Amino acid sequence: MGDRGDKEAKQAMAGVFSRAAPHYDRVVTSFFDRLGTDLVDFVGLGPGTQVLDVACGRGATVFPASARVGEEGRVVGIDLAPGMIDVLRDEVERLGISNVESRVADAETIPYPDDSFDAVLCGFALFFFPDSHRALTEFHRVLTPGGRLGISTFTPMVSEGLAWFGELVRDALGMPSRGDETIQFDQPDQLKDALNAAGFSDIEIQRQSCKVSVLGADHFWEWMWSIGIRGMLEHLDESTAGSVRRAAATHLDNELGPPPYSFDADSWLTRAVRV
């Protein structure tokens, strides 16, 4: 994709996540919040640490990081979607937290000088960036030497468990099937190579098991509207959306048995050091 295509894709992404923000991670039993805490613990942030959380969303890693770094530390959250930053700011204010700042910014052009942070976190977003190498190079640039990076990504289990729904929507929109294609960086070696190429060392990757429980077909539909696939659902007209919704309900009933439906959602937690 050229620079113009990337710009348009980013604008569309920011719109989708802004509209998803009020319900994001609040429909099913928390997934992102739980794994955000796991990532913060895996990276290990002590009091006084200066942290940048890239693509922070509504704060899944911001809040646990803020608790670990304490009053002497600072957590800066950046995200492309203004709606996510609005929800995060409201929550920070509501909780009276004083060591968190946030702003709208792009992971590929981080608006901070070199060597500004002791730790950089990026939860479930690296695969959304059109130029992930550029983003990883930016993470490296803003980290102090010896600084730590923490990244979370999905295992193939996540794309495989929801592939049928993606295909239903793609078919309804007249888009080609994705075949066996899964989400980028769902193989540990992919991320290892990308981190090495961006100058990181001491890379460690851990699998974190997670299950998402869905109460029924309506709950499933609501969940899909609260996450990234919303970007495709928004293109369905009302009648086609109704057909997709009914087909999804039939699939859930036939393939996953009586509700509640359980989805395996294991993820990778990765930590690395900036050389």
Ligand X SMILES: C[S@@+](CC[C@H](N)C(=O)[O-])C[C@H]1O[C@@H](n2cnc3c(N)ncnc32)[C@H](O)[C@@H]1O
Query: Is residue 223 involved in binding ligand X (CB under 6 A)?
Result: no
Residue 207 contacts residue 268 (beta carbons within 8 Å): yes
- Candidates 124, 185, 220, 268; binder of ligand X (CB under 6 A) is 124
CA distance 275 to 261: 44
CA distance 38 to 269: 8
Query: Is residue 274 involved in binding ligand X (CB under 6 A)?
Result: no
Query: Is residue 123 involved in binding ligand X (CB under 6 A)?
Result: yes
- Candidates 36, 64, 73, 150; binder of ligand X (CB under 6 A) is 36
- Candidates 63, 117, 129, 185; binder of ligand X (CB under 6 A) is 129
Entry field: residues in the chain:
275
Binding segment (CB under 6 A) for ligand X, from list 8-16, 111-119, 234-242, 258-266:
8-16
* Residue for token pair 């600072």: 74
CA distance 14 to 104: 10
**For residue 271, what are the CA distances in angstroms to 8, 57, 67, 102?**
31, 20, 19, 23
Site size for ligand X, by CB under 6 A?
A: 25
Query: Is residue 79 involved in binding ligand X (CB under 6 A)?
Result: yes
Residue 79 contacts residue 85 (beta carbons within 8 Å): yes
Residue nearest to ligand X (CB): 57
Which residues here bind ligand X, judged by CB under 6 A?
Answer: 10, 13-14, 17, 25, 32, 36, 55-57, 60-61, 79-81, 84, 106-108, 123-125, 128-129, 228
